[in-house]
Each structure stands twice: as C-alpha cells, then as structure tokens.
Copies of this chain bind each other. A is one copy, B any other.
Amino acid sequence: MGTTNRKHIVVVGAGFGGVKVAQLLSKEPVDVTVVDRNNFHLFQPLLYQLSTSELDENEITYPIRAFFRNKPNVNFFMAHAEGFRPEEKILVTDHGNLAYDYLVLAAGATTNFFGMESVEKNSFGMKTLQESIAIRNHVLRSFEQASRSGDPEERRRLMTFVCVGGGPTGVECAGALSELLYNVIAHEYHGINLQEARVVLVEATDKVLAMMPESLQQETVRVLRDVRHVDVRLGAQVMDYDGRELKFKDGQVLPTATVIWAAGVKAVSLMKELGTETDRAGRVVVTPTLQIREHPEIFAIGDCANFMQDGRPLATVAPVATQQAVVCVENIKTLLRGGSNLKNFVYKDVGAMATICRGHAVVAMGSMKMRGFFAWCAWMVVHLMRLAGTYTNLTVVYKWFWNFLFGLRLGRVISDTEMRD
C-alpha cells in the first residue's frame, strides 16, 4: 500500500457502499485499500434466511478479495477500524495504521437496543453473519430441548419465537420462522404439539412496514396472521427481557426463550471517534457532497452517514449506499484532478419491497403497488440480481426452488455444539 506515487484511497467497510466505491475506483490510476473486520461481503437483506435455515453461509457472503481478483490496484486489509488521526490523514486499526489521501467511511450499522441493557444482553441482533448463525443454532436447539422436555410450560417457552420490530427484517423473519415451524418442524418432530408453538411479531407503533402504502401494510398483517399463523402485536412496546420473560409497557408478560431484535439500527461506534457531529443514531452528518465538513478528504456513505433530504435523514437501505458510492467516487475523481466543483447527492427513490412468506410479498414503487405471488416473484428476481455473483445466484435459485416445491430446509445445522471426544 502506498508503494507507488499514486494517491491512496482507503475504504472502511465492504458492504454495498464500500464494495461499489472500490469497484468504481479500481478503474482509476489510484491505489485502493478496503478495510473490513470480516473477509467477506455480507448480503444483509437475506440474513434472515440463514437464521431460519433456508440459505447457507456461502450463499449470502462473497469473499471480498474475489471482487478484486483482476484489480491489482485494490488491496484488502482485514482489520477492525478503531479511530482516526485526521490531521495526519491516518486511519487507526487493530492491526496498525493506514495512511490515506482520501478516506471513505462505509462502515455500516449495528443493532440499536435504545439503551435497554436487559434486552441487549438476552436477545439476538441480526446484523452480522455471526449473529445470524447464533440465531439459527439457538432456534434449532430450542426445538431439540422442547422435544426432550416433559414440562408443557417449558416447551411453550422454548417454542415461542418473538421478532421485535415491524420493519422488513422483523416481518420477513417472522414469516420465515413460521414456515420453518409449520413446514419442517411439524413433520420431523413426531411428538410435537403445534398448539405449544408460535411465532410472535411485536411492533411498538400501530403499523408494520412504515415505508409502505397503508393497503400493503394491512395486507402484510393479514397474510402474517391468516396464512402464517403469526401472532402480530401492534402498539406493543418492549420494556424488559431477562432471557425467560418478555415484559411489555402495558404490563403484559410473554414467556419466551428467543427474542430477535430488529427494532432499530445505529451507526457503528467508530463514527463517534471522528469527533464531528453525529445524529441520535450515531450517524455522522455529511455535507450535500457526502463529505465531513471539518475534514473534506473524508467521505461517509450508507448506513453510517446522516444525509438530509426533504428535511429527513435518508433510510438505512442498500440503494442509498450504492447511489451515494457513485457520487462519492465522482467527487473524489474531481478532487484528484484538482477540481473543486463537487456534485451534490440526490437520492432517487427505488421503492420498497418485503417478502412475507413463500408466495407472498409486497412491493411499492412510486404509485405502483403489488402484492401476492407476482410481487413475490419480483422480490426474488430483484434479490437474485443484487446478489454478488452468478455462482452464488444459481445455488440460491436452486435452494429457493427446492424449498418452494418441497418445503425442505437442509441448512439445519447446529454448529456450535461443544465437542468432547
């Protein structure tokens, strides 16, 4: 790194935004270093399918280095970015310092428990591969524990799965857990009593999928309740969870061994280290040109950046990050040429979509609304197109097809069993 006289651009994070930035910069006469604590790009929108045993690690990850196989000017540096020395243009990591000419922060977000320590300690976030594997192992192990238990109360607690948060992640996870329960578990646990099992979706406001038109919100709740037997609880605010009982603000208590928390995100803590303005979710405030005002050689994009548009910060979704990546690279190229006429970013809304379960999805693009089977097909096509590689896409197509036909989920591996002899 930095062995040539070319400018060195360091990109923190290999999510949708960071990979796009590095891909665009790879065509320029610059040196690029991608920093990530993981050696893989993670397709976060499908994490819930790993958690529910439908897809495997390989399908929702892609080796970061594989993106840059034929790009000798792009290097990968596996490390955890920990801080900054902006005056010296140095990024501090747990494996040493990296000097940069330009720095792009695309470090992403983590789960926001809003300061509820008991919930943070006892429930599962679902933002990383490691968390998703932990959910899969825990859910499968809970069924095994229930199958060994002679206590109906304990079985009910073990087979009550709660997703908190009515956004796409919570909705998709609840639907997929319900499918796992009724299409797989029901057939393979010969003594199971399905009356003792349930999936609960908890949302603090009075609606799910806030970004969707009202008719699609209602359709989503209807499908979850009627088709997938999910216990949807709107206006239910979580107060506390000790690992055994989930407590709500209105005094209700729900015994459960599994709480998946998908009710909020915040920027990774690295962003605080800049010492510049951040919003309530820890996202660093950027200029219309995506720069940090105090350090114009530092750009921030995606979930870790607060970009105001129409008086509101943009949502933490992949299209924002990839669109910002394009403008970020254009602006860096302008600066490299010695120019100063930087471009302002404007987000073009691409709509929203969420899958509810096999054969059911909701899609809203501009004034167009879709629901049901065709919306579900559209959801699949969009997600397949966005997945990293042809190779990956085909195994995903294959697994989805198989699951559609036979309801079989062979990703049911409890991989963290402690081995003694």
Contact = CB atoms under 8 A, between A and B. Distances in A.
A420 B398 CA distance: 34
A190 B76 CA distance: 9
Contact of A80 (B129, B268, B413, B420): B420
Contacts of A66: 188, 408, 410, 412
B57 A413 contact: yes
A172 B392 CA distance: 25
A95 B410 contact: no
Contacts of A399: 395
Chain A contact residues: helix, strand, loop or mixed: mixed
A165 to B, nearest CB: 19
A79 B148 contact: yes
A419 B128 contact: yes
Interface in A286-328: none
A421 interface: yes
A147 B95 CA distance: 11
Nearest to A412: B63
A40 B188 contact: no
Nearest to A56: B58
Interface stretch (A67-75, A227-235, A336-344): A67-75
Interface string A111-140: 000000000000000001111010000001
A110 interface: yes
A408 B69 CA distance: 11
Interface in A85-126: 95-96, 110
A130 B415 contact: yes
Contact of A61 (B80, B147, B413, B420): B413
A414 B38 contact: yes
A398 to B, nearest CB: 6
Contacts of A68: 188
A417 B188 contact: no
B95 A148 contact: yes
Contacts of A96: 148
Given A188-B66, A415-B57, A419-B128, A410 B391 contact: yes
